[in-house]
Structure 1
Amino acid sequence: MIRRFGDRPEPGQRYIRRAGAYAILPLDGQLLLTHQSEPEPEVQLPGGGIDPGESPLAALHREVFEETGWRIATPRRFAAFRRFAYMPEYDLWAEKLCTIYVARPIACMGPPSEPGHEALWATPEQAVALLGNPGDAHFTALFDRLNRR
């Protein structure tokens, strides 16, 4: 069973399962995050939905680049969780299956290409406090604890 974070599913609401790939991106003691301005302003781990026919790693590379402008290397699976959410940009009630990878940012190619996104850097402690998704925050804190040993 995969751990759930966030709201419980609404009774009677039908949810569409939506897989996504997200990244914890450490570099020089900081983490690369994305700020999404709409539909609600929120700081997030870069990443997003896996398109039909797309592999999780291809989606991860694409989404990180679109949301931050950075290319990444050496992604490795770190954790997974699920959450139930309404996605207003798609008018969709989703059971989001979130796989988190750890990868290395290697080159900034320019600003994010996805409208409404801005790349930002934060210390791990700042990132945990800023992240709007409790699953992202939990696994970022776990990553930080494991890397302090």
Structure 2
Amino acid sequence: MTEVVLRRAVAADARPAADVWLRSFAAALPTVVRPHTDDDVRDYVRDVVVPLRETWVAEAAGAGIVGLMVLDGELLSQLYLDPEWRGRGLGDRFVALAKERRTGGLTLWTFQVNKPAHRFYERHGFTAVEFTDGRGNEEREPDVRYAWRP
């Protein structure tokens, strides 16, 4: 089994982390229209996410960055895994870390079409607390807000 380390992101991680985001989004959400280009996503991760948010990466020996998690206050704003690394426990490790970092609770949004994400978060004790028609997100895709309270 390849060793994977979870650590805080540094500036040099921005490009590979953005590429994980892009691959993960394409694999998990093929029907969701992305409002930004690949380069826009890479710029956002470089200029906003890594320097201004609590950003964590999963780094695998020999494979580089294979996962990304972003905390923004109590919001678990992003959790993306390289599609080839799903099912190996990395998401579980990221959620455990998020709960350690935010002992008062967490919230997150996911798209209603992303049923695997619903099952994943519910397995980790999150409860759906709000459903929307998508007017509040850039993708205009119906979503659901989940909350976890210790």
Same fold (TM over 0.5): no
User: Going by fraction, where is strand more abundant, 1 or 2?
Assistant: 1
User: Going by fraction, where is helix more abundant, 1 or 2?
Assistant: 2
Q: TM-score w.r.t. structure 1 length?
A: 0.30
Higher relative contact order (CA 8 A, sep 6+): 1
